[in-house]
Structure 1
């Protein structure tokens, strides 16, 4: 009802403006000395002019807009509606033989735009004044006067001006300092943050630089935290595929933000060329990597996306999420176990996938160390089942997700993933399918990750348990890892094991300290850090390559190809036959894996000696305390 009243008021106001505009144009054209015949002429045309204007305004939606939120798009609508209606009126008048100066239609056009636009601007100004009285604003400072900062500022001005007040910007570019953006000034650089916060009584700081590296973000966050303000940041560049930033995406600064690396440069056309219009299957689609792969794949327009996993809840969740965001995409959620060869063959015969991403695997190091048979069934023979089904049905491409723990493995999990790599390599060339693997380190936030464990320990008041003070791991975010997997797939010719550039390894103890500080606590004072000693199957440093392997570069700066030895297929098949028997009988599975992966025997022995040495030094090995650092 209220909207109808407002629309009726706008129509009546527009009638007055449209009726008055021609006479104002005449007055301006003749500088007040208007002949009576011109008045009579326009009075005769006035009903038609009003009708044409109002019908055009209605067609352009000028009576169905919320003018209190008016922006550039509303201004363009006004200009378009006035221009079209002016064109019709001019043609109508000249067609009926009206003799008027040619400048009159032009003046009339300008006057109507100014009056209609001014009336709508008044509505917005009145609303602003009304909502601006007696309210408590969140006084906001934006760090970064670039594209992301501009998007945030625009949204504050258009949608959140009744709850947030933009105080200004911070930017290290000296050219931008003292310049204005969306009505707010760039007040200084990062060294001025504390002074500006005190001067302008800022209570919220938004860091709007998605491409910022982790070290730089860490430095800015430390400065911001000293001010006592609430600090939020925009998502990293890996999460902004379309480059758009909104206030809804803002979040508290997290560990993932502090570990940001340089943005990944993707060749989206090249990636889309082997995905668009294809039937794509993802195994382990409910897992951390598998679900993110599915999210990224939906943007590349496959003809069908098949979500395969054995956990019904996780498959249900990713299926529902993708349906809500991509209602037109053909999705097929499948509950199946990669260890069930007959079921996998049945599914491949039914869907005939053209591209397969094999992400299903057991990744938890301690659990697989205690149950090696399960690691073999899932990681080795599950991979074998899916790879053979892909080859038999002429799948075009098969990409397996591997791990840095496959290099000089000390754990059953790592060794089984290395055997899976050997299977994928050996399958290449047997049919039309191109088989490749992509090897990378730990991903932040994955299931079984050390980060959620640390957060739970902090919530309990500590202690945080870490196996060794020198423990280091390679880390990347899940979106970054999956994007590079997709890019590597576009380069695959068959038989490669791609290696992703993981950057510099990160000390686990440094991550723990960062998480404690981000929780507003002091490491060693509020939350203790306790060292528990290396566990079976664990080593201090992960490797992405063995010394003998080396790498060859690709056309992408963050993707390499491992120079691996050719697989002796006959010996591999013989060993797999023995291993399958061992799995069924529970007999010497670990020793059989050692024969397939010789480096496993040596490195495992070295780690065992290190653990024995630590035990002699009375380092505690409580099973509960040691459940850390289990990234997959």
Structure 2
């Protein structure tokens, strides 16, 4: 594996000019960042925020009213569990970014029916609604937890990934094209450990909880995650799973970066939690190609034909796998501080990880 890193630089947002774009789960961390950047960088015809929380829609609407391109925003209350509502929302939509999901690992373990209804049935509904309307392209957000899943959240996202890949087999020659992006933990997003640790430090915690000192995780900034989705949209033919080359880090080093000198307290691994995250399994490697800044897992279904693909990646070696433990691109405390600064999550007075 060549050592490269996805940076998000030179992302082409012009693909959205004149297009109608819909984001499921659009009031979440990803959705808000995506929409803000989309309005800054492109001239879409219409941008639809599809979500089920009216308060978050109200707050987002208020936050965006001063933007020069605010007039193209539309807010649509709905749930991905409701196929009829999705079909109604997808009318006259060209591009769908599917970000809606239940993502909290322990909560999904304790509430499996709800996780399945949103992450699996919801994925089926999105694909079905696209097939019933004139949607052209769909990018579904996944997670490293979907590769060799240990927890229900990861298993539900693996099922979702399979549904979106197979959607290309159902869409025919002229129907919508579906792809998946898979990446790791997002710095500073809602539910991320970094805001949690920063709050604990601010509140005067005498130590920070660590589940296991051996634990490693992939890390990506929110802006990079958004750019990766857009760049994958430009590269897609339909059926691919795109995986960025991003750094990983030991969780103990993360606590050193956030709070030098603060002791650690080992609390044990939570239900469904892994020591190390996986992006590409050895079995995936048979269909995996490497580019400078990403990997692409191509589908094995009969609809796939390499003769028409845009990307000319190099096949990975037999037995290849990509995990947060074997990743050649690792972060130390200084490297994490640099990513936090790049993401706007670092204050020069040392309050790194706080939101502004």
Into which bin does the TM-score normalised by the smaller protein fall? Answer: 0.7 to 0.9
In 2, distance between residues paired with 1:329 and 1:355? 19
1:313 equivalent to 2:55? Answer yes
Q: 1:325 to 1:267 in 2, by over 3 A?
A: same
* 8 A contact 2:208–2:264 mirrored in 1: yes
How far is the alpha carbon of 1:297 from its aligned partner?
A: 1.6
1:294 equivalent to 2:29? Answer no
Query: Could you list the per-position Cα deviations for residues 369-391 of structure 1 after superposition, in whole angstroms to 9, with x for gaps in the alignment?
Result: 11111110000011111121012
2:192 is aligned, of 449, 468, 475, to 449
How far is the alpha carbon of 1:265 from its aligned partner?
A: 2.9
Query: Where in structure 2 are there 5+ consecutive unaligned residues?
Result: 304-356
Structure 1's consecutive aligned runs of 4 or more residues displaced over 6 angstroms after TM superposition are: none
* 8 A contact 1:441–1:474 mirrored in 2: yes
In 2, distance between residues paired with 1:566 and 1:467? 39
1:509 is aligned, of 245, 248, 252, to 252
1:359 paired residue number: 99
Alignment map for 1:2-401 (pairs within 5 Å): 263-268=7-12, 271-273=13-15, 275-298=16-39, 299-327=41-69, 329-349=71-91, 352-401=92-141
1:480 is aligned, of 211, 220, 224, to 224
In 2, distance between residues paired with 1:401 and 1:546? 18
Q: Which has the larger radius of gyration?
A: 1
Q: TM-score, normalised by structure 1?
A: 0.45
1:417 equivalent to 2:157? Answer yes
* 8 A contact 2:51–2:77 mirrored in 1: yes
Higher relative contact order (CA 8 A, sep 6+): 2
1:137 paired residue number: none
In 2, distance between residues paired with 1:266 and 1:547? 31
How far is the alpha carbon of 1:332 from its aligned partner?
A: 0.2
Q: 1:328 to 1:373 in 2, by over 3 A?
A: closer
Task: Number of aligned residue pairs: give it.
Answer: 292
Alignment map for 1:491-570 (pairs within 5 Å): 491-503=235-247, 505-517=248-260, 522-523=261-262, 528-550=263-285, 551-554=288-291, 557-566=292-301
2:310 paired residue number: none
The alignment partner of 1:389 has SS state of helix
How far is the alpha carbon of 1:264 from its aligned partner?
A: 2.9
1:12 paired residue number: none
How far is the alpha carbon of 1:334 from its aligned partner?
A: 1.4
How far is the alpha carbon of 1:511 from its aligned partner?
A: 1.0
* 8 A contact 1:296–1:483 mirrored in 2: no
1:463 paired residue number: 207
* 8 A contact 1:283–1:308 mirrored in 2: yes
Q: 1:487 to 1:480 in 2, by over 3 A?
A: same
In 2, distance between residues paired with 1:450 and 1:562? 29
Q: 1:469 to 1:328 in 2, by over 3 A?
A: closer
Q: 1:567 to 1:308 in 2, by over 3 A?
A: farther
Query: Where in structure 1 are there 5+ consecutive unaligned residues?
Result: 1-260, 569-632
In 1, distance between residues paired with 2:115 and 2:10? 34
The alignment partner of 1:552 has SS state of strand
How far is the alpha carbon of 1:430 from its aligned partner?
A: 2.4
Q: TM-score, normalised by structure 2?
A: 0.78
1:98 paired residue number: none
Query: Could you list the per-position Cα deviations for residues 570-592 of structure 1 after superposition, in whole angstroms to 9, with x for gaps in the alignment?
Result: xxxxxxxxxxxxxxxxxxxxxxx
The alignment partner of 2:280 has SS state of coil
1:490 equivalent to 2:234? Answer yes
* 8 A contact 1:397–1:434 mirrored in 2: yes
How far is the alpha carbon of 1:567 from its aligned partner?
A: 8.6
How far is the alpha carbon of 1:262 from its aligned partner?
A: 7.1
Query: Could you list the per-position Cα deviations for residues 543-575 of structure 1 after superposition, in whole angstroms to 9, with x for gaps in the alignment?
Result: 111111122134xx323211443399xxxxxxx
* 8 A contact 1:354–1:397 mirrored in 2: yes
Query: Could you list the per-position Cα deviations for residues 413-432 of structure 1 after superposition, in whole angstroms to 9, with x for gaps in the alignment?
Result: 00000000010011114231
In 1, distance between residues paired with 2:52 and 2:204? 33
How far is the alpha carbon of 1:463 from its aligned partner?
A: 2.4
1:433 paired residue number: 176
In 1, distance between residues paired with 2:32 and 2:70? 18
* 8 A contact 2:243–2:296 mirrored in 1: yes
The alignment partner of 1:468 has SS state of coil
In 1, distance between residues paired with 2:209 and 2:107? 18
In 1, distance between residues paired with 2:266 and 2:144? 24
